[in-house]
Structure 1
Amino acid sequence: MSYLDYNSTTPIDPRVLDAMLPYLKDNFGNSSSTHHFGQIINKRVKQARSQIAHFINSESSEIIFTSGATEAINIALKGIAESYNNKGNHIITVSTEHKAVLDTCKDLERKGFEVTFLPIKENGLLCLDFLEESIRTDTILVSVMFVNNETGVIQPIKKIAEIVHEKGALFMTDATQALGKIEVDVQELGIDLLCFSGHKMYAPKGIGALFVRRSDKTVNLTPQTHGGGHEIGLRSGTLNVPGIIALAKACEISSQEMTENRALVSELRDTLEYELLKIGQTSLNGDLTKRIYNTTNICFKGKDANVLIGRMKTIAVSNGSACSSAVFEPSHVLKSMGLSDDDALASLRFSLGKYNTIEDVKLVVETIKKLTEPQSKYA
């Protein structure tokens, strides 16, 4: 299998697996237990929390463990909405956000909140002037994805945060596709809330975190789950200790190998993209330069992406977000960028990772060229 769907999920790094295994077998204690066994586990969880906090330059007390980015997003958006509704009921986000943000915002609309879904330019970037004009006195939160999961487009997060704060609102970002690939410093960038998942950075599924600023200003959230007061009351439930240990190890490895991985993966991505764009009737979706180095999204005009995926038996690529793949419809991200339904349905996302090789790239290029050639029996 040539796996080029790392934005969907990543394999577990063997070193991450080795780090978490003892906490699945021998060190199985509940970190909230008061006995000696439980307190040993609790100490290790505190160390892991500190590692993860250091990775994004936050305080340990600002890290809330969740089951993943989707839960973190729900806690943040709903928690802010309830906590700050005395200030206002207006929230701003972007039309190209992940469904975890869009669907949660739609749920808040049903509860009486007003949400503005900002459009984006054809290259996938947000118009900052339009953002500034959209922020009102009753705007309590602006949520903008750091790196788009389908196109890899990177938004100017620091500048966005500055605009939002100048207007007196809070700023949140879904950094799921950024963390582990590029440096993310919540202090430098001015982020108030940040969400991410472990399984996008070589840790297992079922673990993620929410950063909630508390150091220079306290961001208040109304808890959405109750039952024990875990995670400073924001996320009750027994902690996923093996997952937490794994996430900390993944952050440690990323901090050590990020530069090396970037050089390797970007070269593979560029080679893949260069060869695929030689094929007739192809075009790149998204900005050419302001994007993450592991992702390319290409339209094969006149083709059906789902048919291509189905015929690539030993190759894993995507036609959009894995979280939306059960619904057969054009990508909302590509549609927001101005693509027609047909062109959106003809587009493939290729997302590479540190275990890919040049052989993977060659196989993908060769296979897609065969499938898209006019004379091909598969076309």
Structure 2
Amino acid sequence: MLKRSCLLLLAILANSFTYAQTTYLFVGSYNDAKDKDGIYIYRMDMESGRLDKVCTFSAIMNPSYLTLSANGQYIYACTETRTAGMGSVSSYRFDRQQRLITLLSKQPSGGDNPVYLTVHKSGRWLVNGNYTGGSLSVFPLNSDGTIGAAVTVIPFTDSSITERQKSSHIHSTVFSPAQDYVFTPDLGADKIRRFIFDASQAKPLQADSFIRTTPGSGPRHFTFHPNGRFAYCIEELSGSVTAYKYNKGRLESLQRLMTHDSVPRSFYSSADIHISPDGRFLYASNRGVENNIAIYSIHKNGTLSHVGYESVLGDHPRNFLIDPSGKFLIVANQLSGNVVVFKRNAQTGLLTKTGVDIKIQGPSCLQIRTYND
């Protein structure tokens, strides 16, 4: 009886003890010069959305896309983008105590203009997509945060029907929910390519198959629903989102709808797509004339219904994120050079201004992480 009482007391004490936490926003950018800041880290107040600068890093050209290691200690970046013949991927250590970013390693990306990175859940592999080079590359990750030389580089030479589609353009690299496949939308070929991924192998990526999208659509970014049963692709050139049913590597088209208003245009410039953590709402960014976030509710069968639009209060929302709590949506407006924080209504999906708006040259990617202090 005494033993049982002691265990109960320990459980109560454990539940009552809470760790202090700090949330950081990581920003990658097009800085256009090595002597200018390229990576920024801000501390975020999770009540007001306020952002306070912690540290920055220069000495690298155009760190345009970032992703983090599982423990948040390392930053991986697409670097030297839009720099002919010099595309690279780089890694950095983020020291929270010293408020310091340190370069650890750099490898050739396997093609010009790297634009997207993702880390396998094992922490052993980094997968990169090269836009201009039209290729996919896989790198081993070391325990010290350094990146090894690419073990696989797969180039593509496909094309499609528009001026932007004279060659292949890989625009994102996304693991399936079980992380046994990688899906890579190819804007230049109007294809979503599928690869088998086995993290235990020395060369984990194996070419598998693809599905075709609507000619001229330009598939760009791709995301899975939290329940793992649906997937969504934003199509840059057609300004559309296509919803898919997903099962064991197979995509089955469910619905395709515009992310823009009813005014027809010869081409669009849709960019990014994300789903709220509760799986109830989908958000898509539109650049160009509208510069807004399109908001959709997600039905139980995976289809979408339009809810509304919200101005991004800037120009060219290349990237945005929803924080893991679902309280905030944060937008990187590349051409107007500002990062804007919105409060998100979990019941309606709608966004409201917080007044938080920070100036950064060419912000192009956002990542967020909460740490136990």
Query: Normalized per residue, which structure has more strand?
Result: 2
The TM-score normalised by the length of structure 1 is: 0.26
Which is bigger in relative contact order (C-alpha 8 A, separation at least 6)? 1
